[in-house]
Chains A and B, each alone.
Chain A
Amino acid sequence: MSIDASRRSLSEWLQSEQPASRRQARLGQAWRTWLLFTGNRLGMIGLAIVVLLVLVAIFANVIAPYDPVLGGDLRTERLLPPSLDHLMGTDDLARDIFSRVIHGARLTLMVVALVAIIATPIGLLVGTVSGYFGGWVDTVLMRITDIFLAFPRLILALAFVAALGPGIENAIIAIAITSWPPYARLARAETLTIRNAEHIDAIRLQGASSGRIIWGHVVPLCLSSVIIRVTLDMAGIILTAAGLGFLGLGAQPPQPEWGAMIAGGRRFIIDYWWVATMPGIAIFTVSLGFNLLGDGLRDVLDPKAEK
């Protein structure tokens, strides 16, 4: 059997209208979503950027030509313009900016991943529980959410970092704590429409407990819109992390964090533009990538557009 034929039969298996097992049904569903997503060119560009970020972060040691922390000869290699030796030039401590940007991808990815892992479940849980039960549970949870929403994100993060001490870990905690309330609001709004649906009445009549209904029936329907929102927020999270770094409250030197790198380069931006510009371009590209990905996901996953 040729490769082409086996590929065709795989695609048929995935798109079968009569799946024969749970696994086939689930994979088939995922495959259809993927086909839909591949039709969205900007979404695919966003996905490519994000995948590139992940790959760069994983293989940073292999890709980066120099050590990101230890600089070269301070007498001869400081503030060199971009060249073949140093693709993005060097900074005032004679460190290769390209290597630092590559290693910075790790920090950025860590921030993004940790915030997503911490903030999304909190937001989902608070939102669905509050929306499903209503009444005083809703009132209490939503007032707490409102309190968190009322603070400007960066200012609250600043306060947290000031209290906990500067450092990338504390910056992540601060950002995560300030970014869940919008997800809770979103999940609650979705839950309010879902909880009156006939299929929720139906499972209630099967005697299901509230926990089972929320986890198995409400959360899967809220999940896609929350994921879309989280993806779109990633750009903002990266910028906040960079902002904290820029203010000296996030990653501490000599860690190659993009925001801190811009801060370091701002002193000589007129004469040595590349020092601040290169990490800036990296921040811009990754933020754009997450935004495009989020838009693409919205086109595919949004339950309101679903038939």
Chain B
Amino acid sequence: MAFIDIEDLEVTFEGSGRQVRALKGVSLAVEEEESFGIVGESGSGKSTVLRALCGLAPVTGGRISIAGDPVQMPRDQAFYRRVQMVFQDPYASLHPRHTVDRVLSEPLAIHGFDHAEDRVEQALEDVGLGSGFRFRYPHQLSGGQRQRVAIARALILEPKVILLDEPTSALDASIQAEVLNLLDRLRAERGLTYVLVSHDLAVVSHMCDRLMVMQGGEVVEELTREALQAHATAKDYTRNLLTASEGFTRDPALRR
């Protein structure tokens, strides 16, 4: 059995008298210390997979298990120590009135960790921010620095699994490279398991060993990085996505 095992996951949102089926039976398996990517366009349900996994979206069907244990509803404290998430928008994912120190100490307080002071200092060191950043407010940080704080927050409980929801799509290209390198390094150092969601095939191909393409709440296909790089795909949808990702091509046939 795989480390993260999801079978026939269904998520249905109910609101104002209509139902939206965001996930229509998604299955995936991620091995320990693997980096797994989910690619898709808006509305494909790629972020919903992550949100359902960590209990932020209502699971209406299917099974999720991590390291062989079925995930309970509601999630227990042990789950949060094992699975953490980094969000897309670093401007929205930090509380505007809390200092970096508070952001990092709070999870430690909730889970009763000892040596909180040292752990906060170490976490800041690990993500490449010195202790000079410890007592700053989010508005005193740049987008890249905020995302580093968000990564430090996810790591401070020493989880095994990190869910990454478009972690760099709100950042400039040069900052994106820094954050991707940081994530890469942390995974190698700590043997973390990543599930990375992105609309950007290049980011997923760079970060992940295996990936899954989603469309309309369903899995289109699963690929290895090598298959993606060789354009060895069986589905037209994936091929279109690949071509589109490589930039604009002037199509003479379209010029009338």
Q: Which residues of A contact B (CB under 8 A)?
A: 17-22, 24-25, 29, 197-199, 201-209, 212, 216-217, 220-221, 303, 306-307
Among B63-113, those with CB < 8 Å from A are 75, 77, 79-81, 84-85, 87-89, 92-99, 101, 106-107, 110-111
Question: Do A306 and B153 touch across chains, with their CB atoms under 8 A apart?
Answer: no
State the majority secondary structure of interface residues on A: helix
Select from chain A the residue with minimum beta-carbon distance to B80. A207
A207/B77 contact (C-beta < 8 A), A22-B101, A198-B92, A201-B56 known: yes
B80, B97, B139: the one contacting A205 at CB < 8 Å is B80
Task: Tell me which residues across on chain B come within 8 A of A24, comparing CB atoms.
Answer: 135
What separation, in Å, do the CA atoms of A29 and B111 have in the docked complex?
Answer: 29
Task: Tell me which residues across on chain A come within 8 A of B150, comparing CB atoms.
Answer: 202
B54, B94, B110: the one contacting A212 at CB < 8 Å is B110
B164 within 8 A of partner (CB): no
A208/B106 contact (C-beta < 8 A), A19-B135, A19-B136, A25-B135 known: yes
Task: Tell me which residues across on chain B come within 8 A of A206, comparing CB atoms.
Answer: 80, 84, 106-107, 110-111, 153, 157
7 chain-A/chain-B pairs, Cβ below 8 angstroms: A19-B136, A25-B136, A199-B94, A206-B157, A217-B95, A220-B97, A221-B96
What separation, in Å, do the CA atoms of A201 and B52 have in the docked complex?
Answer: 12
Task: Tell me which residues across on chain B come within 8 A of A25, comparing CB atoms.
Answer: 99, 101, 135-137
Report, nearest first, the 9 A-B pairs whose CB atoms are least far apart: A207-B80, A25-B135, A19-B135, A206-B107, A198-B93, A198-B92, A198-B87, A18-B132, A199-B95
A198/B106 contact (C-beta < 8 A), A17-B136, A19-B135, A24-B135 known: no
A199/B107 contact (C-beta < 8 A), A18-B136, A19-B136, A206-B157 known: no
B54, B89, B101, B137: the one contacting A29 at CB < 8 Å is B137
Task: Tell me which residues across on chain A come within 8 A of B85, comparing CB atoms.
Answer: 201-202, 205
Nearest-neighbour CB distance to chain B for A295, whole angstroms, equals 22
Question: Do A202 and B93 touch across chains, with their CB atoms under 8 A apart?
Answer: yes
B140 within 8 A of partner (CB): yes
Task: Tell me which residues across on chain B come within 8 A of A18, comparing CB atoms.
Answer: 132-133, 135-136
Select from chain A the residue with minimum beta-carbon distance to B81. A207
Give the tally of cross-chain contacts (CB within 8 A). 81
Nearest-neighbour CB distance to chain A for B86, whole angstroms, equals 9
Question: Do A207 and B92 touch across chains, with their CB atoms under 8 A apart?
Answer: no
Nearest-neighbour CB distance to chain A for B140, whole angstroms, equals 6
Task: Tell me which residues across on chain B come within 8 A of A204, comparing CB atoms.
Answer: 56
What separation, in Å, do the CA atoms of A202 and B87 have in the docked complex?
Answer: 8
Task: Tell me which residues across on chain B come within 8 A of A29, comparing CB atoms.
Answer: 137
What separation, in Å, do the CA atoms of A303 and B97 have in the docked complex?
Answer: 10
A198/B88 contact (C-beta < 8 A), A17-B136, A25-B99, A221-B96 known: yes
What separation, in Å, do the CA atoms of A21 and B135 have in the docked complex?
Answer: 6
What separation, in Å, do the CA atoms of A204 and B95 have in the docked complex?
Answer: 12
Select from chain A the residue with minimum beta-carbon distance to B86. A202
Task: Tell me which residues across on chain A come within 8 A of B92, comparing CB atoms.
Answer: 197-199
Question: Do A207 and B110 touch across chains, with their CB atoms under 8 A apart?
Answer: yes
What separation, in Å, do the CA atoms of A19 and B80 have in the docked complex?
Answer: 31
Select from chain B the residue with minimum beta-carbon distance to A307. B139
Select from chain B the residue with minimum beta-carbon distance to A20. B135
Nearest-neighbour CB distance to chain B for A93, whole angstroms, equals 53
A17/B135 contact (C-beta < 8 A), A207-B77, A212-B110 known: no
Task: Tell me which residues across on chain A come within 8 A of B139, comparing CB atoms.
Answer: 307
Task: Tell me which residues across on chain B come within 8 A of A203, comparing CB atoms.
Answer: 95, 106
Select from chain A the residue with minimum beta-carbon distance to B75. A207
Select from chain B the residue with minimum beta-carbon distance to A194. B95
What separation, in Å, do the CA atoms of A249 and B138 have in the docked complex?
Answer: 51
Select from chain A the residue with minimum beta-carbon distance to B91. A198
What separation, in Å, do the CA atoms of A17 and B135 have in the docked complex?
Answer: 9
Nearest-neighbour CB distance to chain A for B72, whole angstroms, equals 13
A207/B95 contact (C-beta < 8 A), A18-B132, A19-B136, A25-B135 known: no
Nearest-neighbour CB distance to chain B for A196, whole angstroms, equals 10
Select from chain A the residue with minimum beta-carbon distance to B153. A202
Question: Do B106 and A216 touch across chains, with their CB atoms under 8 A apart?
Answer: yes
